[in-house]
Amino acid sequence: MTAHTRTDIVVLGGGYAGITAALRLAPRHRVTLVDPREHFVERVRLHQVAAGQAGTVRPYRKLLAGTGIRHVTGRAAELDPAGGRVAVETGDGQRLDLGYDRLVYALGSRTRVPALIPAAGDAGATPVYTAETAAGLATGMAGRSGRLAVVGGGLTGIEMAAELAEAHPGWQVRLLTAGGLAPTLSEPARRHLRATFDRLGVTVEEGATVDDPRQVDADAVLWSAAMTPATELAAEAGLALDEQGRIRVDAALRSVTRPEIVVAGDAGAGWRMACATAMPTGAHAADTLLREARGAAARPFRLRYVLV
């Protein structure tokens, strides 16, 4: 039988990548999952939350039951790779110091918001929402009519505009995009999109660059222009990042700076930011740790997109 060294593994982030990695590692290692939320957030369903549909709530307590994974409800605040420690701020104001042998960095990404976005509740300002504040948008639109501008013609903006127009027929929905609509899609897919938007009454304004959401003529704005990786902690800890701010990794998904740290999901460099890549990178990052713990060489990560 192959000898297997049981190690302490801390997984930062309980999104698609982190949960996939944690569940794969748990049968063999002591796994601690750090995430400030009490439940797993299905980001790919946030457009439905914005449209007021109740999302499925999956508490970590249930998701992790029987796995042996310890969930620390807190925010990773500082990473010390040289000392093998991560500082976590818990909701009750405590600061926990967690030691690790190996670490999975899976803190994901969030909407990149311009500094000019007014704070929620600013008097006289047009309310500006993002995918992260989708529930607030649902409340703001419910039972009313008005004009909504969705800024961002990527897949998230498109999903948001379609879902919101369908859920709130009393609202006039415009999609503003700096370039063309859905440039990554094929021409037939774009034709289908335009036909759907026509049916739903969504107007599309291409070539519309918006720097300041306060200047958009609308009753509410949904900002969906770009995502930014959650890699501030990695940068402060000296991990090498690429030009998009994502963590540089080797073929086996280890940080090129600190190979004891593996990276998965939107925080890592070399693949698209998507749920569809977060789960396989989470699984592969875990496999790298599993193989190395039993003295085997890690394997290179390979991903092929079957549909584009």
Residue 13 touching ligand FAD (CB under 6 A): yes
Nearest-approach distance from CB 3 to ligand FAD, in angstroms: 31
List the one residue out of 129, 156, 153, 142 whose CA is nearest residue 203.
153
Contact between residue 213 and residue 221 where contact means Cβ atoms under 8 Å apart:
yes
Nearest-approach distance from CB 295 to ligand FAD, in angstroms: 29
Return the SS3 of 157: helix
Which listed range, 35-43, 173-181, 212-220, 237-245, lies at the site for ligand FAD (CB under 6 A)? 35-43
Contact between residue 120 and residue 136 where contact means Cβ atoms under 8 Å apart:
yes
Torsional sign, CA 92, 95, 96, 100 = positive
Nearest-approach distance from CB 113 to ligand FAD, in angstroms: 13
| Number of residues located near ligand FAD, criterion CB under 6 A | 33
- CA gap 46, 160 in Å, rounded: 8
- Which residue's structure tokens are 């990404």? 109
Residue 98 or 273: the one with the smaller Cβ distance to ligand FAD is 273
Which listed range, 33-41, 188-196, 252-260, 289-297, lies at the site for ligand FAD (CB under 6 A)? 33-41
Could you say which of 4, 6, 37, 144 contacts ligand FAD (CB under 6 A)? 37
Q: Dump strand ranges (E) for the chain.
A: 8-12, 30-34, 39-40, 58-59, 70-72, 74-80, 85-90, 95-99, 102-105, 109-111, 128-129, 146-151, 171-177, 203-206, 220-223, 227-229, 261-263
Which listed range, 10-18, 138-146, 250-258, 296-304, lies at the site for ligand FAD (CB under 6 A)? 10-18
Could you say which of 11, 14, 84, 301 contacts ligand FAD (CB under 6 A)? 14
Residue 135 touching ligand FAD (CB under 6 A): no
Residues 151-190 that bind ligand FAD (CB under 6 A): 156, 159
Q: Which residue is nearest to ligand FAD (CB)?
A: 15
* Total number of residues shown for the chain: 308
Q: In this structure, what is the dihedral angle of CA atoms 111, 61, 49, 161, given to the nearest 10 degrees?
A: 40
- CA gap 92, 235 in Å, rounded: 27
Which listed range, 21-29, 146-154, 183-191, 274-282, lies at the site for ligand FAD (CB under 6 A)? 274-282
Site string for ligand FAD, 203-232 (x = CB under 6 A): ---------------------------x--
Q: Which residues contact 181 (CB under 8 A, 6 or more apart)?
A: 153, 158, 175, 190, 193, 194, 204, 206
Which listed range, 136-144, 241-249, 250-258, 268-276, lies at the site for ligand FAD (CB under 6 A)? 268-276
Residue 71 touching ligand FAD (CB under 6 A): no
Q: In this structure, what is the dihedral angle of CA atoms 248, 154, 227, 174, given to the nearest 10 degrees?
A: 170
Which listed range, 39-47, 198-206, 244-252, 283-291, lies at the site for ligand FAD (CB under 6 A)? 39-47
Phi, psi of 36 (to 5 degrees): -70, -15
Nearest-approach distance from CB 142 to ligand FAD, in angstroms: 19
Could you say which of 9, 10, 11, 12 contacts ligand FAD (CB under 6 A)? 12
Residues that bind ligand FAD (CB under 6 A): 12-18, 34-37, 41, 43-44, 46-47, 75-76, 106-109, 131, 156, 159, 230, 265-266, 273-276, 278
